[in-house]
Amino acid sequence: MSEMTADTSRLDRTVFYALEKAIKSYRQFAQRNLREQSLDITIDQWLLLKTIHDEPGLSQKEMSQRVFKDYASITRMIELLVKRGYLKRSFHKSDRRRFKLALTEEGETIYKQLIPVISSNRKTALEGFTDQQIETLHHLLSKMTNNCID
The reported pTM is 0.82
Query: Angle at CA 30, nearest 5°, toward 72 and 55?
Result: 50
| DSSP assignments along 14-83, one per residue | SHHHHHHHHHHHHHHHHHHHHHHTT----HHHHHHHHHHHH-TT--HHHHHHHHT--HHHHHHHHHHHHH
CA torsion 44→50→52→53, rounded to 10°? 160
**Which H or E run includes 104?**
none
Among 89-98, 118-127, 128-137, the range scoring the smallest mean pLDDT is: 89-98
Higher local confidence (pLDDT), 5 or 91: 91
Q: How far apart are CA 24 and CA 15, in angstroms?
A: 14
Phi, psi of 102 (to 5 degrees): -150, 150
Q: Give 32-71 pLDDT, tens digit per residue.
A: 999 999 888 999 999 999 999 999 888 888 999 999 999 9
